[in-house]
Amino acid sequence: MTDDKAGHQDRKDTKAAKAAERADIAGQVWEEVRGRETARDDQIVRLKAQRLERDAADAAAAKPPAKRSK
């Protein structure tokens, strides 16, 4: 009878250990996801700044010529 209780305790310990391992892995995965999101957001900001700079340069270069007076 003591063997059955010991086996039951072993199963509980194993189940708890597996749950803890899954939680650790999930934490690592979420950390990686957040890192990728941060990198993506940084890239979006950088590309938007480049686009705005390029658009401003294009707008300055495409100014219509001044009207001549008659």
Instruction: Kindly report the pTM of this predicted structure.
Output: 0.60
What 8-state DSSP symbol labels residue 66?
Answer: P
Q: pLDDT tens digits, residue range 26-60? A: 999 999 999 999 999 999 999 999 999 999 999 98
Q: pLDDT tens digits, residue range 1-20? A: 445 777 788 999 999 999 99
Between CA 39 and CA 42 the distance in angstroms is: 5
Radius of gyration of the chain (CA): 31
